[in-house]
Amino acid sequence: MNKKNKIVIPVAGAPVRYRLEIMKKAFPDLLDYIILFTTKTSYPMYKDYHNDFKFVFIEDYQDEFSKSSDEFERFPEFETEEEYFKKIAGFKGAFSLDISRFIFPYLMENNIYNFIITETDFIFKNDIEMLEKVFNSVPEGTLYAPWMGDDIFSNNPKLWTNIQHLFPDIKLEYDEPIRMCDGFLRGFHFRNKEDMYLFYKIYCEAMKDAIKDDKINKIGTKLYYVDYVVHILMQIFKKQKNYNWETCYKFTLIGGQKVGHHVCRPEDTFYHSRVSTWEEKYKLDRNNVTSIEEYIKKNKEQLDYYYRDHGYVVEATDTHIFTSLQNY
């Protein structure tokens, strides 16, 4: 195992315990690669997992320079499932992978330049050799994400113009069609600490400007989604710093096999508006449901079908829908 290759996953709030149990069972041999990025408030909620995962606290690395505001960039830290599901729809914040940028200083301190930032619903295959092949196949000077297509209208030149004066040594310009991406994974292999720190500084300033001027998307709840910022910055680094810019599938498919697979989990996001598509196709029912366990008991067979339909090996219990990827 190369201790300089890491997978960063942001976690907060009581319901995450459900996903940590699934992760622990799905890929036990990979846990030493995982860094869970959380808050000191949420950390005690995961006491059963303190010996299984490495935890890093956002408070130790977020400072006045890096954050955009206490109001908009914060984790939902409701201490019980009941409180979480009752209040999350009204939570106003940016619980997304962009908060994970605050771990860059920790990674730089530890000379970690080859890493993935992903989510708790990305299930890795329990195969150390395969994961190492992924990291080893990514050349220095490479950034990657799940490509979704070109969208020249999504680049907001005003955002980059507003912060250009702060970075005289790099042009924050990209005059090619912008490649938009899904937000569940970002991959980085920086050449050196200087490039990584420059990326981090620009990322922070761009986020401040995006949130300040309300250049955001709001989906389902009042959560803020600004996934486009980092993907455009990756492409700016391609143009201005001669970085490789690749689809993540170039590295995460090894010999035709996936190193991991992402699909949203209905049983702990039933409050979300997008659940309606799941309900229609998979006959899932969230009426009068207030907890993960209630949702599972009401939809156990449907959830089993949902995950098998997405390519997982499934073990459905009354409290968990365990998903994993088969080793061949």
Instruction: Answer yes or no: are the C-beta atoms of 224 and 183 closer than 8 Å.
Output: no
Q: How many domains does the chain have?
A: 2
275 and 202 in a common domain: no
Q: pLDDT tier at 229 (50, 70, 90 boundaries)?
A: confident
The residue among 258, 290, 308 that closes a domain is 258
Whether 265 contacts 19, CB under 8 Å: yes
Does residue 250 share a domain with residue 225?
Answer: yes
* Residue 279 confidence class, pLDDT cut points 50, 70, 90: confident
Q: Do both 253 and 293 map to the same domain? A: no
User: Which of 203, 234, 258 delimits the end of a domain?
Assistant: 258
pLDDT in tens, 233-253: 999 999 999 999 999 999 999
Q: Give the pLDDT of residue 157.
A: 72
The confidence band for 202, taking pLDDT boundaries of 50, 70 and 90, is very high
- Phi/psi for 21 (5° steps) reads -65, -40
Q: Which amino acid is at 189?
A: H
In whole angstroms, what is the distance from residue 216 CA to residue 24 CA?
34
Q: Is 176 helix (H, G, I), strand (E, B) or coil?
A: coil
Check residues 193 and 208 and name the one with the higher pLDDT. Answer: 193
Claim to verify: residue 287 and residue 245 sit in the same structural domain: no
Alpha carbons 228 and 238: distance in angstroms, whole number: 15
State mean pLDDT over 148-167. Answer: 77
**CB contact at 8 A, 36 and 61:** no
**What is the DSSP code (8-state) at residue 125?**
P
Same domain, residue pair 252 and 275 = no
Q: Which one, of 327, 315, 318, 328, lies nearest residue 25 by Cα?
A: 315
Q: Across all residues in the chain, what is the average pLDDT?
A: 87
pLDDT reported for residue 54: 97
pLDDT tens column, 20-35: 999 999 999 999 999 9
Q: Is 102 left (phi over 0), alpha (psi -120 to 50) or beta?
A: alpha
Are 166 and 279 within one domain? no
pLDDT digits (tens, 9 = 90+) for 298-315: 999 999 999 999 999 999
Q: How confident is the model at residue 281 (pLDDT cuts 50, 70, 90)?
A: confident
| CA distances from residue 312 to 219, 224, 268, 304 in whole angstroms, order as listed | 27, 30, 17, 9
Please choose, from the candidates 229, 207, 225, 234, the residue with its C-alpha nearest in 3D space to the C-alpha of residue 68. Answer: 207
Say yes or no: 57 and 204 in one domain: yes
Is-contact 103 39, C-beta < 8 A?
A: no
Within this chain, do residues 293 and 250 fall inside the same structural domain, yes or no?
no
Range of the domain at 231: 5-258
The DSSP 8-state label assigned to residue 257 in this structure reads E
**Alpha carbon separation from 246 to 178, 191, 243 (Å, rounded):** 13, 16, 10
> What are the residues facing 218 on neighbouring strands?
224
Residues 72 and 211 in one domain: yes
Whether residue 204 is found in the same domain as residue 301: no
- Tell me the CA distances in angstroms from 80 to 14, 23, 86, 270, 272, one per residue in order: 5, 20, 10, 16, 18
Percent of the chain beyond pLDDT 70?
86
CA distance 185 to 8: 10
Task: For 245, list phi and psi in degrees, rounded to 5.
Answer: -125, 110
Q: Are 262 and 155 in contact (CB under 8 A)?
A: no
User: Cβ atoms within 10 A of the Cβ of 150, count?
Assistant: 12
Q: Is the pLDDT of residue 140 over 90?
A: yes
Pairing mode, strands 34-38 and 54-57: parallel
* pLDDT for position 64: 61
Q: What is the pTM of this model?
A: 0.91
Domain end marker among 238, 258, 278: 258
Q: Please state the rounded mean pLDDT for residues 258-262.
A: 95
Q: What is the CATH number of the domain that holds 224?
A: 3.90.550
How do 185-189 and 142-145 pair as beta strands? antiparallel
* Shared-domain flag, residues 274 and 202: no
Q: Taking residues 139-154, what's their average pLDDT?
A: 83
Q: Show the CA angle centred on residue 297, arms to residues 295 and 298, nearest 5°.
A: 65
pLDDT value at position 219?
39
**Co-location of 76 and 131 in the same domain:** yes
